[in-house]
Amino acid sequence: MNINHHPSEALLLDYASGALGEGWSVAIATHLALCPTCRQAVRDMEAIGAALLEGLKPAPLSGNMKHDVSTVLSTPQDGEETSFSPIAASARPDLPEPLRRYVGGDLDQVPWRRLGLGAYQCLLPTVEDETVVRLLRIPAGKLVPSHSHGGLELTLVLHGEFSDSTGSYVRGDLQEADGSLEHQPHAADGEDCICLAVTDSPLRFSSRAARMVQPFIGI
């Protein structure tokens, strides 16, 4: 597997420091499960952060603050950080952790819903409502209607391949798109392209027909 498109250094740093929201973290953690280069980059960032913390002089805590900190550390947190796990060569699932936990299984267990734009989707439940997290399935050889973005969109290829004006994306590749990018993803011939997509605002479709059906499909 040859991964050529990676998250920005800023996204990896936010992930390593725990600053990303749940939806973005799922996308980055899933990419890390597939990409040894970015896994190592995150480990390096975490090691630097740990070294900096060790160099800080500890400050005494008040009695109330000690109690508050102890309570937080001993209480399980909803939507707690999703760690990444490299895929075992023998298992070869299509969906690595942590994504499998959100889906409840592998790709053969995904309840696809037809979008009406030549594609299918499956919305994934999250604790936080900052983002919408979904699986997208583009049939082989099909085009997604041309669109731009009202905010940030992370698209991670899990199966198959798609291409647009920025290049070709295969399993493990992650595209980071914002309002400056208008594109029309095209699934490669031969097999459907399945992606994990995380957005924080609706897409901005170029065609009037796509905009008319957009309220009914929630994308």
Q: Is 160 within 8 Å of 194 (Cβ atoms)?
A: yes
Q: Which CATH class is domain 106-217?
A: mainly beta
Q: Is 174 within 8 Å of 31 (Cβ atoms)?
A: yes
Rounded distance between C-alpha atoms, residue 128 and residue 62, angstroms: 32
Torsion sign over Cα 97, 22, 54, 65:
negative
Nearest alpha carbon to residue 153 among 131, 129, 136, 177: 177
For residue 163, the SS3 value is: strand
CB atoms within 10 A of CB 168: 14
Residue 167: the pLDDT is: 95
**Non-local CB neighbours of 50 within 8 Å, separated by 6+ positions:** none
Could you give the count of Cα atoms lying within 13 Å of 195 in the half-sphere of its Cβ?
27
CB atoms within 10 A of CB 210: 19
**Non-local CB neighbours of 85 within 8 Å, separated by 6+ positions:** 33, 96, 97, 98
Going from N- to C-terminal start, the domains of the chain cover: 106-217
Residue 124: the pLDDT is: 96
Residue 210: the pLDDT is: 63
Distances (CA, A) of 24 to 48, 54, 153, 213: 22, 28, 9, 26
Rounded distance between C-alpha atoms, residue 151 and residue 133, angstroms: 14
Take residue 101 and report the two structure tokens written for it.
């936990």
Rounded distance between C-alpha atoms, residue 107 and residue 169, angstroms: 19
Radius of gyration in angstroms for the set of CA atoms belonging to the chain, rounded to a whole number: 19
Nearest alpha carbon to residue 30 among 183, 161, 194: 194
- List per-block mean pLDDT (blocks of 10 residues) for the chain, which spans 219 residues: 93 94 96 96 90 64 47 41 37 79 92 82 93 94 80 94 95 92 89 94 68 61
Q: Give the angle subtended at the CA of 131 by the CAs of 11 and 112, to the nearest 5°.
A: 110
